[in-house]
């Protein structure tokens, strides 16, 4: 029997058979998420407007996110041992834990909520408000991604986990928010201690002790997780997790290479990022197993577009690279493309491609070294230098450094990155204050003037250089 | 009307005022300024009609229109919408080609724009999310001190000891001014302090991209001589003000319209 959500699920790549089989779970999850028939028109028009539903792979990617949301909401009801990890995180330990037992579900809940309640339902505000009411108040410069995690738990839409893996090796706000949640709900948390305090100019060198220490912390994380969850994390599980991650990152690398090699942007950055962020949202068997296949399908569909010369932005549009795409509001990235900019890839996605080339997590110390070499986990200079390299590698006309005023590691770079990249590469940088998780104060309309001007500026520059 | 007359218009719908300029081959035929009011589309229509009336032209005489300002997309009759940053730069460059920095302070935003030697925009910064450093800040302060907006500048210049206003927020600055007023500080000192505080916000923002001469000040706030002098003190450069600083966005829009039309004519 058809129901109010069927059409939306079909748009998200669900097969009818799948919908019928999953009705009970879908309805139970939607009820907890306060998603009803009244939300369907908005969600359908929101995804039709902002997502490239002509591509089968895009529908399936939306579907995979939605399935993760349902699994997340129902994890405890279904007897899973639930593990939350943070964003940004060092990929690896969670994949090993997930591979160690089929009864464990490892996920970054705030990222899943962004890519579903934001990207699909445009209904993230009540969750953000619940975060504000429950320990992370507005106006305090606190991270909105953490507000989403806190709000999700406060509203009872995401369960209290059995374990949280947390750290401050990139930003201390995630670990502080987890501390707050631990105090409130009492669930165990494992802290991987670390530091990204580097001297300016030190990158790519680092003190060996840093890698040793971080490596030990990652090993400690696994050992404690094993103890708390009552599972054995074997060498085979580590290898299986690593091999799955490698497959997912490999598929993504092919997609990124495809975007690099063409002048006609064949895929919106919105869709590239719903694929790319699978690597941040969940390490479930679905994401690691189906994810690479869907990305491979996307690759095939994109190749067809390239063959036909089909692009999603105006031909000859100036190319810009953005630090990271909006997690929850696709209309912002669409606005940037509609302003005449071609945005083939984000800086963070190109940086992730560095890990794609190596073997992910087997041993803590090796993984720590790889993360330090990537740049962002090293320190400000590492992140800036890598951004400059990425801009040159992709031969872009401009860089949009979108910084969150409430994100200490990123906000610190707002002036430094612009000065450094412009001086080193001659590529103009727009320093754009926005919040990639919460668009209440930074809507597409509010950002449009700056982005349109930057696009005009790059067009004029391109024209005067005869490009 | 001669089809080759190349009459174009620029319409700038700002947060506080709507402006229109009618242009024919680089000559301003007329301009008008009206409060924006509650309807962007109505403001656009009224302001262009008023400018046309002054030039004794009709709407049909205008061959190309560019809209700009925060309400640029609400002007249904324009051929194209262009941002106010590009238009302010184009407007200023058309009458002051030596300009290399444009400071624009409007009703609800402020921006600093850097131009290269060919008058292309090469960098910009903008504040449109906080009232500090905008015309709105001055309006609030004028209300507190019961002084007409146009009198604020000249009165402030009398001050020999401007107050220190430390708050960067309009609301908190208002409280600070109220306290200083209660302490008996003179109106000229309060206004001098207000102008210094506001200028400081804009200059700090602009320093991130640097000031290079000639520096030109546009927007409604450019009519306030107190702000101009406070900024000159802080930047250490002379600031030039066009005769009609408020219409630079609309003039730039008209210049862009003229360029667009010329391109179209060449193609045909």
Q: pLDDT of B6-24, one tens digit each?
A: 999 999 999 889 999 999 9
Q: Is the pLDDT reported for residue A19 higher than 90?
A: yes
Q: Which pLDDT value is given to residue A313?
A: 93
Q: Which pLDDT value is given to residue A138?
A: 92
Interchain CB distance below 8 Å, A441 and B129: yes
Residue found under tokens 């003037």: A449
A415-460 per-position pLDDT tens digit: 899 999 999 999 999 999 999 999 998 888 889 999 999 999 999 9
What average pLDDT does range A77-99 have in this prediction? Answer: 91
DSSP element (H, E) containing B132: none
**pLDDT category of residue A300 using cuts at 50, 70 and 90:** very high
What average pLDDT does range B148-157 have in this prediction? Answer: 91
Nearest CA to CA, how far is B84 from chain A (Å)?
A: 8
**pLDDT category of residue A467 using cuts at 50, 70 and 90:** low
Euclidean distance between CA atoms B225 and B240, whole angstroms: 11
Question: Residue length, chain A?
Answer: 467
Q: Which pLDDT value is given to residue A89?
A: 77
Nearest CA to CA, how far is A411 from chain B (Å)?
A: 15
Mutate to test the interface with A, among B14, B71, B112, B123 (most CBs of A within 10 A): B123
Q: Which of A85-94, A435-444, B36-45 is predicted least confidently?
A: A85-94
Q: Is the pLDDT reported for residue A361 higher than 90?
A: no
Euclidean distance between CA atoms A319 and A343, whole angstroms: 6
Nearest CA to CA, how far is A449 from chain B (Å)?
A: 6
Q: Is the pLDDT reported for residue B267 higher than 90?
A: no
Interchain CB contact of A159 with B (< 8 Å): no
What average pLDDT does range B153-163 have in this prediction? Answer: 92
Interchain CB distance below 8 Å, B120 and A441: no
Nearest CA to CA, how far is B129 from chain A (Å)?
A: 9
Q: Which of B118, B124, B129 sits opposite A453 (nearest CB)?
A: B124
Q: Which pLDDT value is given to residue A309?
A: 92
**pLDDT category of residue A31 using cuts at 50, 70 and 90:** very high
What average pLDDT does range B192-204 have in this prediction? Answer: 91
Average pLDDT, chain B: 92
What average pLDDT does range A23-31 have in this prediction? Answer: 97
Interchain CB contact of A197 with B (< 8 Å): no
**What is the number of CB-based contacts under 8 A between chain A and chain B?**
39
What average pLDDT does range A376-392 have in this prediction? Answer: 91
DSSP SS3 for A376 = coil
Q: Is the pLDDT reported for residue A56 higher than 60?
A: yes
**Partner B, chain A 365-424, Cβ-Cβ below 8 Å:** 415, 418
Contact list, A460 vs chain B (CB under 8 Å): 120-121
Q: Which pLDDT value is given to residue A1?
A: 65
Q: Is the pLDDT reported for residue B1 higher than 60?
A: no
What average pLDDT does range A239-263 have in this prediction? Answer: 89
Cα atoms in the 13 Å half-sphere on the side-chain side of A335:
19
Average pLDDT, chain A: 92
Q: Smallest Cα–Cα separation from B123: which of B197, B205, B67, B218?
A: B205
Interchain CB contact of A441 with B (< 8 Å): yes
Interchain CB contact of A176 with B (< 8 Å): no
- Determine the residue of chain A that is closest to B88 in CA distance: A453
Crossing angle of the two packed helices A285-308 and A93-100, in degrees rounded to 10: 120
Interchain CB distance below 8 Å, A446 and B118: no
A133-179 per-position pLDDT tens digit: 999 999 899 999 999 999 999 999 999 999 999 988 788 899 999 99
| Residue percentage of chain B with pLDDT more than 70 | 99
Q: Smallest Cα–Cα separation from B246: which of B5, B1, B12, B7?
A: B12
Euclidean distance between CA atoms A213 and A197, whole angstroms: 14
Answer for the pair B19, B104: CB distance below 8 angstroms, yes or no.
Answer: no
Q: Which of A415, A431, A456 sits opposite B83 (nearest CB)?
A: A456
């Amino acid at each position: 029997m058809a129901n109010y959500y069927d059409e939306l699920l079909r748009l998200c790549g669900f097969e009818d058979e799948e919908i019928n089989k999953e009705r009970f779970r879908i309805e139970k999850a939607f009820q907890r998420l306060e998603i009803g028939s009244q939300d369907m028109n908005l969600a359908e028009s929101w995804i039709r407007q902002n997502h490239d539903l002509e591509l089968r792979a895009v529908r399936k990617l939306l579907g995979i996110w939605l399935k993760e949301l349902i699994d997340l909401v129902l994890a405890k009801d279904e007897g899973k041992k639930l593990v939350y990890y943070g964003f940004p995180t060092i990929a690896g330990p969670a994949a090993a834990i997930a591979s160690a037992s089929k009864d464990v579900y490892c996920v970054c809940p705030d990222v899943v909520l962004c890519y579903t309640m934001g990207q699909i339902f445009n209904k993230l505000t009540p969750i953000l408000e619940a975060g504000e009411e429950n320990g992370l108040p507005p106006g305090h410069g606190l991270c909105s991604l953490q507000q989403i995690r806190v709000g999700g738990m406060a509203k009872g839409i995401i369960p209290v986990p059995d374990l949280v893996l947390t750290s401050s090796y990139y930003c201390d706000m995630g670990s502080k928010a987890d501390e707050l949640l631990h105090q409130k709900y009492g669930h165990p948390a494992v802290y991987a201690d670390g530091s990204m305090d580097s001297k300016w100019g030190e990158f790519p060198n680092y003190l060996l002790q840093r890698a040793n220490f971080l490596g030990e912390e990652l090993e400690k994380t696994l050992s404690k997780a094993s103890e708390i969850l009552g599972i054995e994390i074997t060498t085979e599980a580590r290898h299986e997790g690593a091999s799955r991650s490698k497959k997912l990152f490999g598929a993504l690398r092919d997609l990124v290479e495809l975007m690099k090699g063409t002048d006609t942007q064949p895929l919106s950055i919105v869709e590239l990022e719903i694929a790319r962020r699978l690597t941040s949202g969940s390490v479930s068997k679905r994401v690691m197993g189906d994810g690479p296949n869907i990305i491979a399908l996307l690759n095939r569909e994109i190749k067809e577009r390239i063959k036909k010369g089909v692009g999603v932005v105006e031909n000859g549009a100036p190319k810009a690279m953005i630090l990271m795409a909006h997690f929850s509001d696709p209309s912002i990235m669409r606005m940037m493309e509609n302003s005449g900019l071609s945005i083939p890839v984000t800086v963070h996605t190109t940086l992730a491609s560095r890990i794609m080339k190596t073997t992910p997590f087997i041993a803590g110390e090796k993984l720590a070294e790889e993360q330090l070499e990537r740049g962002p986990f090293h320190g400000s200079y590492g992140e800036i230098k890598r951004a400059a390299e990425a801009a040159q590698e992709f031969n872009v006309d401009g860089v949009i450094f979108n910084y969150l005023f409430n994100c200490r590691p990123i906000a610190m770079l707002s002036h430094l990155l612009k000065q450094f990249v412009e001086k080193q590469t001659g590529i103009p940088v727009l320093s754009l204050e926005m919040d990639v998780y919460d668009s209440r104060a930074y809507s597409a309309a509010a950002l449009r003037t700056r982005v349109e001007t930057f696009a005009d500026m790059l067009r004029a520059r391109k024209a005067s250089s005869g490009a | 009307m001669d089809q080759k007359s190349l009459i174009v218009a620029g319409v700038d719908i700002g947060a506080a005022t709507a402006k229109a300029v009618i242009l024919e081959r680089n000559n301003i035929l007329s301009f008008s300024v009206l409060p924006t009011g509650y309807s962007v589309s109505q403001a656009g229509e009224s302001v262009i009609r008023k400018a046309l009336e002054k030039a004794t032209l009709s709407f049909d005489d205008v061959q190309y229109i560019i809209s700009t300002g925060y309400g640029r997309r609400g002007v249904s009759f324009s051929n194209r919408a262009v941002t106010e940053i590009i238009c302010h730069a184009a407007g200023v460059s058309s009458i002051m080609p030596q300009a290399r920095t444009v400071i624009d302070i409007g009703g609800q935003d402020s921006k600093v724009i850097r131009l290269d030697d060919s008058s292309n925009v090469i960098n910009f910064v903008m504040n449109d999310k906080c009232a500090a450093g905008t015309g709105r800040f001055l309006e609030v302060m004028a209300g507190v001190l019961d002084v007409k907006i146009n009198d604020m500048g000249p009165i402030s210049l009398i001050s020999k000891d401007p107050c220190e206003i430390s708050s960067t927020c309009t609301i908190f600055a208002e409280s600070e001014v109220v306290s200083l007023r209660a302490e008996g500080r003179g109106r000229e000192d309060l206004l001098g302090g207000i102008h210094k505080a506001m200028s400081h916000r804009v200059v700090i923002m602009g320093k991130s991209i640097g000031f290079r001469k000639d520096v030109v000040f546009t927007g409604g706030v450019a009519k306030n001589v107190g702000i101009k002098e406070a900024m000159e003190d802080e930047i250490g450069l002379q600031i030039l003000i066009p005769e009609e600083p408020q219409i630079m966005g609309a003039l730039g829009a008209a210049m862009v319209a003229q360029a667009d039309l010329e391109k179209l004519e060449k193609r045909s």
